[in-house]
Amino acid sequence: STLYRVDGWGQPYFSVNSSGNISIKPHGSETLSYQEIDLLKVVKKASDPKHSGGLGLQLPLIVRFPDVLKNRLESLQSAFDSAIVENGYGAHYQGVYPVKCNQDRYVVEDIVKFGGSFRFGLEAGSKPELLLAMSCLCKGNAESLLICNGFKDAEYIALALIARKLMLNTVIVLEQEEELDMVIAISRKIDVLPVIGLRAKLRTKHSGHFGSTSGEKGKFGLTTAQILRVVKKLDQAGMLDCLQLLHFHIGSQIPSTVLLSDGVGEAAQIFAELVRLGANMKVIDIGGGLGLDYDGSKSTESDISVGYTLQEYAASVVQSVKFVCDMKGISHPIICSESGRAIVSHHSILVFEAFSASSYDSPEVSSLGLQYFVDRLSDDARADYRNLSAAAIRGEYETCLLYADQLKQRCVEQFKEGSLGIEQLADVDGLCDLVTKAIGAADPVRTYHVNLSVFTSIPDFWGINQLFPIVPIHRLDERPTSRGILSDLTCDSDGKIDRFIGGQSSLPLHELNGDGSGGRGGYYLGMFLGGAYEEALGGVHNLFGGPSVVRVLQSDGPHSFAVTLAIPGPSSGDVLRVMQHEPELMFENLKHRAEEYINQNDDGGMGHASLASGLAQCFKNMPYLAPGLSCCLTA
Ligand code: PLP
């Protein structure tokens, strides 16, 4: 586990068990040892058709642990509860979950259910997100906040006001000054008193990758002058009482509590000023930003790590708000946060399979003999060859590499001119490999091919260079003998993972079972901490759709679990439909064509029915590599 730093980023949910497999502690540090779940067993049950009770789902697979989600929510709440008691803070913490981080129905429903007892609410940033938040919160605690962020049109505002009519604790947070006129007009028209918040553009700037939306030039929120105009306009409309919440968000992955308390302190001053100006301020909403230590380094310098614990985060927020409020003599507001990453990242694990790996080809030189090869070289190339041999005998390694390189270039030129055959071109590659291997300069990094689309499942790796912990989920009691990069199924050179946590450009990996170079590997890797953003952002590059999903609960027996939901990923037909194709029509056309072919050719092998059913199956299967070699068309 030290090789992959599992103890660093995995605490308190992931560890390596005595079988060398990744083990899940669904209740975090409160998990008793007999409650731990072996991830490999879950994957086998979900995917292996031969496994007793196996579900036969295709990989890649997302394994969700709702118990982990519950533990994250409760840990966040209790961190704030403790900080509030310890600091003698005079109000409570009431968080919301920003649904954009993962809009999956079961994730959102679980959060509303698990957080109901402590009034945990939701944040929406668009109309469909608001619709889903409204319908989920209808089943939740009436006091839970429904925060409406994002750019708004009249329809969004009307919907948010209807939500208040439905007795949901809805707050319309002004993102732009122009939204205020619409809020005033529509609320009068439909006769409902709005609760209004405003998003302030803070001067505090988060300088990391995720902070580009913060600071005076940030994309979102109201400037100081705009805040003053909003207050004035509300006062003139007799609605200053409606202004009750101040929101800000300095960016995701806030690296340190120093930056955090700087931002919260600035916002608390604005809050106090709004109180002074007569607004009915009740809630300070500190946005997201509670970060995760993806590489276990606890560094404040990196975009993928943070230098604080949950408890330190909560204490820093509570102390910063209290300090300003006490200084200004105003009552302590309810503290709301919009943590997404910190709530949903841990509960979902992406499991995928390495199906082949590039082999270290034993360098080969012509079956026709070395002399045959040398005879066909140009004079210059032959001279390089002689120099190379002489340098090798003298043991001058650097010179060897130089001549090998030169020889290769000349041979490629000769091949392009047509004076060297393909066999000799292969020979020169073999010879150069032999030399680099003999002098120990061969690149030991192999390419492991994985049944995955990076664009669909780890879009932030491709888009913003974000790193996630990636680890084999089994064989961790066996020292890996190889190093590799991961290359995905897409026909795109960006579809590879060649940077890993810990500044590594390759990952320690095991030999695949079998000969290590072909066939299906049965070698499973997990990408951890990707429950936030990754599923919501992924597209359909190369028409690979999302993974299959299982929801796993810890159950009564020792180390036992129950799969409570199993959803196959989108089929080829489904992803084709996303791009406006009509799979049913496509199938009918192809079937018709197959019938014509069979009628014209007395095809002894494949009858019309099996051809049609093979085609139909291809539309129904997921686009990823099918398990085993039993493709429907070859069976
Ligand atoms: N709130 C707002 C307004 C955001 O823009 C974001 C994301 O960037 C979040 C909350 C969630 O942030 P995080 O995932 O860092 O908790």
Q: Is the CB of 221 under 6 A from ligand 1?
A: no
pLDDT of 134 higher than 90: yes
Tens-digit pLDDT profile for residues 483-532:
999 999 998 889 999 999 999 999 999 999 754 434 455 899 999 999 99
The reply to whether 1-65+347-360+442-566 and 66-345 are identical in fold is no
Question: Best of 97, 101, 308, 345 to mutate for ligand 1, by most ligand atoms within 8 A of CB?
Answer: 101
Q: Which residue has the higher pLDDT, 333 or 397?
A: 333
User: How do residues 378-391 score in pLDDT, each as one tens digit?
Assistant: 899 999 999 988 98
pLDDT (0 to 100) of residue 632:
47
Alpha helix locations (H) across 214-256?
224-236
User: What is the Cα 387 distance to its own chain's centre?
Assistant: 52
Which residue's CA lies nearest to atom 10 of ligand 1? Answer: 288
**What average pLDDT does range 152-174 have in this prediction?**
97
Rounded Cα distance between 189 and 194, Å, is 12
The backbone torsions φ and ψ at residue 416, rounded to the nearest 5 degrees and listed phi first, read -65, -35
Q: Is the CB of 249 under 6 A from ligand 1?
A: yes
Q: What is the pLDDT of residue 280?
A: 98
Q: How far is the CA of 324 from the centre of ligand 1 (A)?
A: 24
Rounded to whole angstroms, how far apart are CA atoms 629 and 514? 15
Q: How far is the CA of 114 from the centre of ligand 1 (A)?
A: 20
Residue pLDDT, tens place only, 329-362:
999 999 999 999 999 999 999 999 999 998 766 6
Pocket test for ligand 1, best of 260, 338, 529, 533 (most atoms within 8 A of CB): 338
The yes-or-no verdict on residue 606 having pLDDT over 70 is no
Q: Does domain 1-65+347-360+442-566 have CATH number 2.40.37.10?
A: yes
Over residues 219-243, the mean pLDDT reads 96
Q: Choose which residue among 96, 100, 103, 245 to substitute to test ligand 1 binding: the one with the highest number of ligand atoms within 8 A of its C-beta.
A: 100
pLDDT band at residue 377, thresholds of 50, 70 and 90?
confident
Pick the atom of ligand 1 nearest to 150's CA.
3
Q: Is 247 in the pocket of ligand 1 (CB under 6 A)?
A: no
pLDDT attached to residue 284 = 98
What HEC string does 29-55 produce? HHCCHHHCEEHHHHHHHHHCCCCCCCC
CA of 253 to the centre of ligand 1 (A): 9
Its pTM stands at 0.90
Q: Is the pLDDT of residue 437 over 70?
A: yes
pLDDT at 286: 98
The pair phi, psi for residue 80, each rounded to 5°, is -70, -40
Spans of all domains in the chain: 1-65+347-360+442-566, 66-345, 370-430, 574-620
The predicted structure's pLDDT at residue 254: 96
Cβ–ligand 1 contact at 574 (below 6 Å): no
Confidence of residue 629 (pLDDT cuts 50, 70, 90): very low
Topology (CATH level 3) of domain 66-345: TIM Barrel (3.20.20)
Per-residue confidence (pLDDT) for residue 602, from 0 to 100:
64
| pLDDT score of 48 | 81
Task: Kindly list the catalytic residues.
Answer: 491
pLDDT at 480: 95
Give pLDDT, residue 432: 84
Q: Which atom of ligand 1 is nearest to the CA of 101?
A: 14
Tell me which amino acid residue 585 is.
L
Using the structure block, give the residue that is written with the tokens 């690149």: 443
Kindly report which listed range (23-32, 128-137, 333-342, 395-404) carries the lowest average pLDDT score.
395-404
Q: Which residue has the higher pLDDT, 307 or 212?
A: 307
pLDDT at 603: 59
Measured from the Cα of 98, ligand 1's closest atom is 10
- pLDDT tens digits, one per residue of 609-623: 788 888 899 999 999
Residues 555-590: tens digit of each pLDDT: 988 999 999 999 999 999 999 999 899 999 999 998
Q: What is the Å distance from ligand 1's center to 111 Cα?
A: 16
Quote the CA–CA distance of 220 and 185 in Å, as a whole number.
23
328 CA → ligand 1 middle, Å: 29
How many CB atoms are closer than 10 A to CB 345?
Answer: 22
Residue ID of nearest Cα to ligand 1 atom 4:
288
125-141 exposure pattern, b = at least 16 Cβ within 10 A, e = fewer: bbbebbebbbebbeebb
Tell the residue nearest (CA) to atom 6 of ligand 1.
288
CA atoms of 226 and 228, how far apart (whole Å): 5
Rounded Cα distance, 617 and 602, in Å = 24
